[in-house]
Amino acid sequence: MGLPRALAKNKTLLYGVPMMLLIIGGSFGLREFAQIRYDAYKLHSKMDPALEERVKKNKVTLESEYEKLKDSNFDDWKNIRGPRPWEESKPLQEQQR
């Protein structure tokens, strides 16, 4: 009868062991939940094979886009702001042009 009382009064067994179990068990549990998240991301990131072929075939590079815009003239370009939700969009845009 003396041993269970001595164990119940031991602060290491009363507070330390449950704390260590919580920390160690929590790390394993967190690893499992994180793995579920990464597995779900892998499933959603897969592309349709037909779409993947179109993406591979359509190569757009920064240099090709630069060549398209290189000879453009932006001297007469005017910035037109978009309408606010409470404004009529068509008359405002016509007025700004």
pLDDT in tens, 19-67: 999 999 999 999 998 999 888 888 777 777 888 788 788 888 889 889 9
Decide if 10 is inside a domain: yes
Decide if 41 is inside a domain: yes
Under 8 Å between Cβ of 49 and 43: no
Decide if 62 is inside a domain: no
Read off the pTM: 0.38
Calculate mean pLDDT across residues 61-76: 86
Domain that holds residue 1: 1-49
Decide if 76 is inside a domain: no
Predicted pLDDT at 94? 77
Predicted pLDDT at 20? 94
Decide if 14 is inside a domain: yes
In whole angstroms, give the CA distance from residue 22 to residue 27: 8
Decide if 32 is inside a domain: yes
The number of domains in the chain is 1
Decide if 7 is inside a domain: yes
Q: Who contacts 89 (Cβ-Cβ below 8 Å, separation ≥6)? A: 82, 83
Decide if 19 is inside a domain: yes
Higher per-residue pLDDT: 68 or 93: 68
Integer-rounded Cα radius of gyration of the chain: 33
